[in-house]
Amino acid sequence: MLADYAVRVEQSRGRRYPEPQHPYRNDFQRDRDRVIHSRAFRRLEAKTQVFTRRYSDHFRNRLTHTLEVAQIARTIAGQLKLNVDLVEALALVHDVGHPPFGHAGEKALDAAMREHGYFFDHNLHALRIVEDFELRYAAFRGLNLTFEVREGIIKHSHDYNPHEFPELAEYLLDQRPPLEAQLIDLADEIAYSAADLDDGYESRLLALEEIRSALPGFDRSYREADKTWPAAIEKLKFNEALKRMLDRFVGDLIRNTQGSICQAQVHSVADVRQRGERLVSFSPQVEAERRRTKDFLYSRLYYSSALDSEKTHGEKVITELFQLWLAKPDLLPASYREKSEQEPLPRVICDYIAGMTDNYIYSQYEKYLAQKS
């Protein structure tokens, strides 16, 4: 049963190109399936989250991170009586616009674009992927996803100024997104906070005592685990502490959001859209813990000197290939050369690079530039 403020699939604004109803899948379920079967989704398996495979095959990549977000988001949506099918589709598609090399790649690609008066935004790139780049159907370009999924792609984590993005006017930029889209951003935060602590510990870039000292909430959970299982090895106690921290974040998000919904007296999707603020949120106490965890990960893991060389090399690969294809567009594949006749060359090159996996962009670098470096 759905809450009054949940999105109902039968009230969807529909697809850009109308299609007949499927006999046993609703439109949001079909969107989920289209995302899963897309090339962009499959490529996430070979895109860096934080660690490359040089460290371990056990660490998260962009795909396994996405699956963890989907699992957490579904759990939260079920407790809030939101539309789980829509939430799952949004969770699975939320990262398809990311370029190779994680945030270092995004930084390099944005910098390259800004030299030519443009910019790179992974949410907007994801929209381009699902609306145009994916070629699976004879009747239309893209995946022809429902309005609600396309809206959630661009609005789940960011509010775009309608005056700065008139081309996105159809997505109601002056309104808040539904709760289904709002929760994706914080499910993402929960997923990578726990996962990156785990991978950081496994990589030995983060020491247990360092984590316990910096994060009192985790330390409290570790002491509870140690008291319950004093004979367990350190890693298993760490796992128990991390599980408790994750559960605390999820439980708090559910309870606090329920309270916010009640206090705001929202009874429909329209009520949610007209709110001046987002309603999916943590309590002040857990929000402070989440921010502290995020700050710790940035200072001690993401900006760790041990990862500097790979990030720097990734930025170098993207920057130099971008410059190469800008100077010699004839080296681009034929389909991208054709696109450059209708769109600015920097945008075409950006689209090409952003769609690459780590493995493929390295092969292109080896082919064209490695011997010259």
Mean pLDDT computed over 348-367: 96
pLDDT at 256 over 90: yes
Q: Are residues 330 and 234 in the same domain?
A: no
Residue 101 Ramachandran class (φ > 0 left, ψ -120 to 50 alpha, else beta): left
pLDDT at 22 over 80: yes
280 belongs to a structural domain: yes
Confidence of residue 373 (pLDDT cuts 50, 70, 90): low
Range of the domain at 338: 308-372
pLDDT of residue 58: 82
Q: Are residues 298 and 354 in the same domain?
A: no
Residue with tokens 């008066």: 117
Mean pLDDT computed over 75-96: 98
Q: Are residues 299 and 357 in the same domain?
A: no
1 belongs to a structural domain: no
Task: Give the domain-ending residue among 262, 280, 307.
Answer: 307
How far is residue 7's CA from residue 13's CA, in Å, rounded to a whole number?
Answer: 11
Residue with tokens 């974040």: 249
4 belongs to a structural domain: no
**Among candidate residues 358, 340, 356, the one with its CA nearest the CA of residue 348:** 340
Q: Are residues 122 and 223 in the same domain?
A: yes
pLDDT of residue 57: 76
- Number of domains comprising the chain: 2
Q: Which residue has the higher pLDDT, 213 or 55?
A: 213
pLDDT at 165 over 80: yes
Token pair, residue 345, equals: 């060359």
Mean pLDDT computed over 13-23: 96
Provide the 8-state DSSP code for 7: P
Q: Are residues 118 and 28 in the same domain?
A: yes
- Kindly report the number of other CB atoms within 10 A of residue 220's CB atom: 15
How far is residue 123's CA from residue 126's CA, in Å, rounded to a whole number?
Answer: 5
Q: Are residues 124 and 174 in the same domain?
A: yes
Do 91 and 156 touch, CB atoms closer than 8 A? no
> Could you tell me the CA-to-CA distances from 115 to 32, 322, 367 in Å, in that order?
36, 11, 25
| 15-29, 78-92, 182-196, 305-319: least confident range | 305-319
3 belongs to a structural domain: no
Q: Are residues 25 and 125 in the same domain?
A: yes
275 belongs to a structural domain: yes
Q: Are residues 35 and 134 in the same domain?
A: yes
Confidence of residue 273 (pLDDT cuts 50, 70, 90): very high
How far is residue 325's CA from residue 368's CA, in Å, rounded to a whole number?
Answer: 10
68 belongs to a structural domain: yes
Q: Are residues 248 and 346 in the same domain?
A: no
Query: What are 179-198's pLDDT values in tens digits?
Result: 999 999 999 999 999 999 99
pLDDT at 219 over 70: yes
177 belongs to a structural domain: yes
Q: Are residues 160 and 91 in the same domain?
A: yes
Do 56 and 203 touch, CB atoms closer than 8 A? yes
pLDDT at 353 over 80: yes
Task: Give the domain-ending residue among 286, 307, 328.
Answer: 307
Mean pLDDT computed over 39-68: 88
Query: What are 124-154's pLDDT values in tens digits?
Result: 999 999 999 999 999 999 999 999 999 999 9
**Helices (DSSP H) in the chain: which residue ranges?**
27-36, 39-43, 62-80, 84-93, 102-114, 122-128, 147-155, 179-202, 208-214, 216-228, 234-264, 269-274, 284-297, 305-327, 334-339, 345-354, 358-368
Task: Give the domain-ending residue among 290, 307, 324.
Answer: 307
Q: pTM, whole model, 2 decimals?
A: 0.95
How far is residue 331's CA from residue 326's CA, in Å, rounded to a whole number?
Answer: 9
Query: What are 291-342's pLDDT values in tens digits?
Result: 999 999 999 999 888 888 889 999 999 999 999 999 999 999 999 999 999 9
Residue 196 backbone phi and psi in degrees, to 5: -75, -30
pLDDT of residue 341: 93
Q: Are residues 234 and 360 in the same domain?
A: no
Q: Are residues 290 and 359 in the same domain?
A: no
2 belongs to a structural domain: no
Please state, rounded to an integer, the average pLDDT across all residues of the chain: 95
CATH number, position 152: 1.10.3210.10
Provide the 8-state DSSP code for 118: -
